[in-house]
Amino acid sequence: MSLIYYAAGLFVSFLWGHVLLVFYGLIGSITQVKKMSSARDSLLAQQERRFIAFSIFAMCLTVTASNVLVQYPVYWFGLNELLTYGAFTYPIAFLINDLTNRFYGPSAARRVVYAGFFAGFFVSWILATPRLAIASSLAFLFGQLLDIVVFTPLRRKTWWKAPLAAALVGSALDTVVFFALAFSNFFTFIDQMTGYANGSLMESVVFLGFELPVWLSLAFGDFLVKIVMSLLMLIPYGTILSAVGIPLYQNSKDDSSFVGRK
């Protein structure tokens, strides 16, 4: 049954991604007619739209897969109280975010993040409980926007510094927000308000000599894996930088705040 839910989630995300691609293409076409006057500008604009559209689609798939897989602990080697499968797929979202930011700036990266936020919330609401949908969506939004804030001023430094620092800081915030909202007993009221059974993980485990709530140990294990995955994501990040012919985004006026300025 879990495989059916997982396949359904990917299918819904696939359809949602196509809707976003069509919508983004229409908006881009309107903007193109109004603002572009030269053939070169037109070609560059089309390249940017294709890249961002692909990033949106990839982000939707990544968020969907991670939101489903985070519900399944890893039972290998007794890691079920420390790790979920979502930790292995979620760092891909930071890779997508960072590449978009490097090539087309923080404003473009925020568009990709907002698309992933709405797609993740929509899919999670269907496949999981409202509490998990709220937790995963808010964690994704805050973590990814913080990633942009950290990445942007480091973008012109040594190629690996910006993605590594941004992913580590963003992952830390994402992990804390998600596991606290989704499994801490403090947020049981979300289940009560939405009419669902209490989804809190109230069991305790002994971790490093201390008795901790099981959700906190899961969060710690999840973050450790994200650290390793963030290091591994430097491989495709560096490979893509070398393979594509897109120069570093240079617009210093592009604001790197959470919401951006017009």
| DSSP labels, 136-150 | HHHHHHHHHHHHHHH
pLDDT at 159: 92
Q: pLDDT per residue over 66-95, tens digit each? A: 877 877 888 887 777 667 787 788 889 999
pLDDT at 129: 87
Q: Cβ(217)–Cβ(183) under 8 Å?
A: no
Where do the structural domains in the chain lie, given as residue ranges?
2-243
Pair of tokens at residue 220? 């710690």
Average pLDDT over residues 196-201: 88
**Averaged confidence pLDDT in the chain:** 80
CATH of 2-243, one of 1.10.10, 1.10.1760, 1.10.3470, 3.40.1130: 1.10.1760
Chain position carrying tokens 């990839």: 58
Banded model confidence at residue 254, pLDDT cuts 50, 70, 90: low
pLDDT at 127: 79
pTM above 0.95, yes or no: no
Average pLDDT over residues 150-177: 94
What is the number of alpha carbons within 13 Å of residue 127 lying toward its C-beta?
A: 29
Of the two residues 163 and 87, the one the predictor is more confident about is: 163
